[in-house]
Amino acid sequence: HLRVLVTGGAGFIGSHLVDRLMEEGHDVILLDSLFTGTKTNFKKWLGHPNFEWVRHDVTEPYYAEVDRIYHLACPASPVHYKYNAIKTLKTNFLGTMNMLGLAKRTGARFLLASTSEVYGDPEVHPQVEEYFGNVNCIGVRSCYDEGKRAAETMAFDYHRQHGVDIRVVRIFNTYGPRMVENDGRVVSNFVGQAIKGEPLTIYGDGLQTRSFCYCGDLIEGIVRMMESSHTGPFNLGNPGEFTMVELAEHVRRLMNKDVEIKYLPATPDDPMKRQPNIDKAMKYLDWEPKVSLEEGLKYMIEDFRTRIEARN
Amino acid sequence: HLRVLVTGGAGFIGSHLVDRLMEEGHDVILLDSLFTGTKTNFKKWLGHPNFEWVRHDVTEPYYAEVDRIYHLACPASPVHYKYNAIKTLKTNFLGTMNMLGLAKRTGARFLLASTSEVYGDPEVHPQVEEYFGNVNCIGVRSCYDEGKRAAETMAFDYHRQHGVDIRVVRIFNTYGPRMVENDGRVVSNFVGQAIKGEPLTIYGDGLQTRSFCYCGDLIEGIVRMMESSHTGPFNLGNPGEFTMVELAEHVRRLMNKDVEIKYLPATPDDPMKRQPNIDKAMKYLDWEPKVSLEEGLKYMIEDFRTRIEARN
Ligand SMILES: NC(=O)c1ccc[n+]([C@@H]2O[C@H](COP(=O)([O-])OP(=O)(O)OC[C@H]3O[C@@H](n4cnc5c(N)ncnc54)[C@H](O)[C@@H]3O)[C@@H](O)[C@H]2O)c1
Ligand SMILES: NC(=O)c1ccc[n+]([C@@H]2O[C@H](COP(=O)([O-])OP(=O)(O)OC[C@H]3O[C@@H](n4cnc5c(N)ncnc54)[C@H](O)[C@@H]3O)[C@@H](O)[C@H]2O)c1
Ligand SMILES: O=c1ccn([C@@H]2O[C@H](COP(=O)(O)OP(=O)(O)O)[C@@H](O)[C@H]2O)c(=O)[nH]1
Ligand SMILES: O=c1ccn([C@@H]2O[C@H](COP(=O)(O)OP(=O)(O)O)[C@@H](O)[C@H]2O)c(=O)[nH]1
Ligand SMILES: O=c1ccn([C@@H]2O[C@H](COP(=O)(O)OP(=O)(O)O)[C@@H](O)[C@H]2O)c(=O)[nH]1
Ligand SMILES: O=c1ccn([C@@H]2O[C@H](COP(=O)(O)OP(=O)(O)O)[C@@H](O)[C@H]2O)c(=O)[nH]1
């Protein structure tokens, strides 16, 4: 029974994590500005004696007495994080600074939700944690990529300098129920488009690759990491690698054989390949993803259908 | 006649820049926390009607009405920036944020003194501005390297988002009079050691390379950049490339043929090669370094001798 703070707890990944921690019987504080998160994602816990909801922006200091800090607050989809790039950078830097200050003061263990984007457009494939990355530091994605890199730097500096007990995970593309429908991410776009019978939009030639991890698998990895004795950074993701064309074919097969595919221009600084090497997580956390893309997509399609139908 | 703010103006490069701007007749505000800078470096201007000295830490907001901001405040030598890594990171991030906020409010033009360290341990040689770099984001140098990368990100985001008029220069190793004697940088170490008759300390095998630019040349490049119409980033440095063994030989030849060379262990994450490609600065600023290593070393040796003798 721990006092656990989850920043970004109203978001896609954060809300699944809150469910898991509540089900385990912890005292949970969900801190969120509701920039991209929603109350719907946690309404089932409102009124529960172990649950507390705090509307707060992590770029401002926050004081509470806690044992664990899962620091997830940050827009994750390119559409959202480019919307106000300066704010994204501040959220990454000031938010992480404040949460590390809180961890230092309370002695809480701190976990940073970092990202595969710290590898940028990788020249090492699949990506191992030792790889330094290939990141444009002055481009339109830099607020996110460099923001997360600087957040990792700060976590390790608080660890070295003040002995703060840190955990760093580099999360690869994750999907599942509760993704925001119009967040512009590829899986939410394709599933939403297929439901509405609109063409699936592929940016560029569609030969760029990603590895998609089901959110349930990811949460298991994050919690194991927090309760392990390793600082990381450890990659968390599903090593299965697909081109966007293959993903579109999967979605067509599962949902709507007749939906068209439309090719749109590529977006700037779009990484060409991405696949995690998860040897470290396998070895030290005894973790690996269990849910196949096909199975995970079914859960997600069900959730999107329910939400879209409820709205109509 | 402009109102010019120089952050870090009490330091090595900043104080030479202040001299130049004062000689040109501008209204100069020198802002510095005196973390590594000293009053000696600007005492000749105290009392001058165009000169103002402000003791201030750039991690805190600062308000004034200015036309130009040369943002140099940041410890530059590894010994100093590792001393309090968290503070270095805050200086880079919060300091740059505050100065960009000031630029946004006043409409001042803002120049960021970035660094060749944004290229890390480069795999492209010589380094061109398009190169994304090879930087460890969780190592002991990251507070500086990642701090500067995030500062560049922020400058470009203020430019794109608020139209702030920015200039970014990536400065390569610079040397000359007024370097702090015990700052641990290689040129100051060797010159100081040779004067005292102590062995020249080489870290590692001494085959790593650097390119050394004389401070007078650099100041000319920085001022040209500020008054140009280009945002950059542009590299500023001297393309002459030397191994540390060659540098030691130069110093021995110029100062003291008998002084010994002592090999010490390499420092972590020490870049193996560094040499600027300065095609952009040559083309767009019509700038290139004029002072040879031999000539520049002579000026520096003279300055170090005077200071060491004055003390004894
Ligand atoms: N989903 C992925 O594929 C993925 C991949 C890599 C890393 N991550 C990381 O995981 C974390 C969660 O991602 P997600 O997919 O759940 O995204 P999300 O956008 O659904 O959730 C982010 C949450 O943070 C909140 N937030 C944003 N800025 C805030 C601020 N300044 N103060 C307080 N709250 C703020 C949002 O309101 C939202 O609830 C992020 O840190 C993200 O970078 C996600
Ligand atoms: N010297 C080089 O070879 C070199 C190379 C690349 C980049 N640079 C950059 O040039 C700039 C100046 O470098 P330098 O060699 O003159 O270093 P320096 O250490 O001599 O000067 C830095 C100055 O900034 C001041 N300062 C530090 N933190 C501050 C804070 N929080 N608030 C206010 N003032 C603060 C220091 O007191 C000092 O006067 C730095 O930004 C550095 O990163 C220098
Ligand atoms: O319980 C706390 C303790 C600190 N902080 C913030 O965390 C940041 C970093 O704290 P730290 O103590 O490391 O730094 P300092 O206050 O010395 O700058 C500060 O800006 C604080 O406002 C916070 O939000 N909650
Ligand atoms: O409707 C879409 C949305 C995205 N993408 C591509 O899918 C990949 C994954 O994009 P996403 O935004 O989901 O995540 P990230 O780029 O952050 O990995 C990228 O190559 C995008 O260009 C696409 O082809 N169609
Ligand atoms: O003249 C100014 C204007 C702003 N700032 C600081 O610069 C930062 C960024 O300013 P901006 O207006 O961009 O951001 P905001 O205040 O909206 O966060 C803020 O923290 C301000 O405290 C400053 O030091 N001097
Ligand atoms: O007494 C010294 C100080 C530094 N170096 C080496 O000289 C190079 C330049 O170091 P400096 O600290 O001057 O600058 P930076 O590493 O930031 O380029 C690095 O390879 C150092 O390991 C050395 O051999 N002896």
Residue nearest to atom 4 of ligand 4 (CA): A186
**Lookup result for tokens 């003291």:** B256
* pLDDT(B31) > 90: yes
- Chain B closest-CA separation from residue A86 CA (Å): 6
At A269 the pLDDT is 83
Q: pLDDT-based confidence at B268, cuts 50/70/90?
A: confident
At B83 the pLDDT is 96
At B10 the pLDDT is 98
Ligand 3 contact, A97 CB (< 6 A): yes
Residue nearest to atom 22 of ligand 3 (CA): A61
At B310 the pLDDT is 87
- Chain A closest-CA separation from residue B228 CA (Å): 20
Q: Tens of pLDDT along B138-152?
A: 999 999 999 999 999
The token pair at A157 is: 């500096």
Catalytic residue (one of A144, A158, A175, A214): A144
pLDDT over 70 percentage in chain B: 100
At A256 the pLDDT is 81
The 3-class secondary structure across A253-298, one letter per residue, is: HHHCCCCCEEEECCCCCCCCCCCECCHHHHHHHCCCCCCCHHHHHH
Give the strand pairing for B51-55 and B27-32.
parallel
- Going by C-alpha positions, the residue among A63, A2, A62, A54 that lies closest to residue A27 is A2
* pLDDT(B32) > 90: yes
B/e letters for A241-268, b = 16+ CB within 10 Å, e = fewer, are bbbbbebbebbbebbeeebebeeeeeee
Q: Please indicate whether, in this complex, the C-beta atoms of A153 and B142 are within 8 angstroms of each other.
A: yes
At B256 the pLDDT is 80
- Using alpha carbons, list the distances in angstroms from residue B135 to B122, B140, B274: 8, 11, 13
Q: How much is the ipTM here?
A: 0.96
Is B235 part of the contact surface with chain A (CB cutoff 8 Å)?
A: no
The token pair at A102 is: 């809180």
Mean pLDDT over each residue of chain B, to the nearest integer: 96
pLDDT in tens, chain A (312 residues): 899 999 999 999 999 999 999 999 999 999 999 999 999 999 999 999 999 999 999 999 999 999 999 999 999 999 999 999 999 999 999 999 999 999 999 999 999 999 999 999 999 999 999 999 999 999 999 999 999 999 999 999 999 999 999 999 999 999 999 999 888 999 999 999 999 999 999 999 999 999 999 999 999 999 999 999 999 999 999 999 999 999 999 999 999 889 999 999 999 888 899 999 999 999 999 999 999 999 999 999 999 999 988 888
CA–CA distance, A114 with A133 (Å, rounded to integer): 14
- Which residues in chain B touch residue A104, judged by CB atoms under 8 angstroms apart? none
CA–CA distance, A225 with B262 (Å, rounded to integer): 45
At A268 the pLDDT is 85
At A24 the pLDDT is 98
DSSP 8-state secondary structure symbol assigned to residue B276: B
**Ligand 5 atom with the shortest distance to the CA of B162:** 13
- Global pTM value: 0.97
Q: pLDDT-based confidence at B309, cuts 50/70/90?
A: confident
- Which residues in chain B touch residue A152, judged by CB atoms under 8 angstroms apart? 137-138
Is B99 part of the contact surface with chain A (CB cutoff 8 Å)?
A: no
CA of B59, nearest ligand number: 2
* pLDDT(B311) > 90: no
CA–CA distance, A309 with A38 (Å, rounded to integer): 18
Residue B184: CA atoms inside 13 Å, Cβ hemisphere, count? 12
| Angle made by CA atoms B147, B153, B157, in degrees to the nearest 5 | 145
Which of A86, A136, A162 shows the shortest C-beta gap to B161? A86
Ligand 4 contact, A203 CB (< 6 A): yes
- Which residues in chain A touch residue B135, judged by CB atoms under 8 angstroms apart? 132-133
- Chain B closest-CA separation from residue A123 CA (Å): 11
Q: Please indicate whether, in this complex, the C-beta atoms of A153 and B146 are within 8 angstroms of each other.
A: yes
Q: How far is the CA of B99 from the centre of ligand 5 (A)?
A: 8
Q: Whats the size of chain B, residue-wise?
A: 312
* pLDDT(B67) > 90: yes
- Going by C-alpha positions, the residue among B90, B140, B148, B85 that lies closest to residue B116 is B148
At B39 the pLDDT is 97
* pLDDT(B44) > 90: yes
Is A142 part of the contact surface with chain B (CB cutoff 8 Å)?
A: yes
From the CA atom positions of chain A, what is the Rg in Å?
19
* pLDDT(B29) > 90: yes
Residue nearest to atom 18 of ligand 5 (CA): B101
Is A300 strand, coil or helix? helix
Is B117 part of the contact surface with chain A (CB cutoff 8 Å)?
A: no
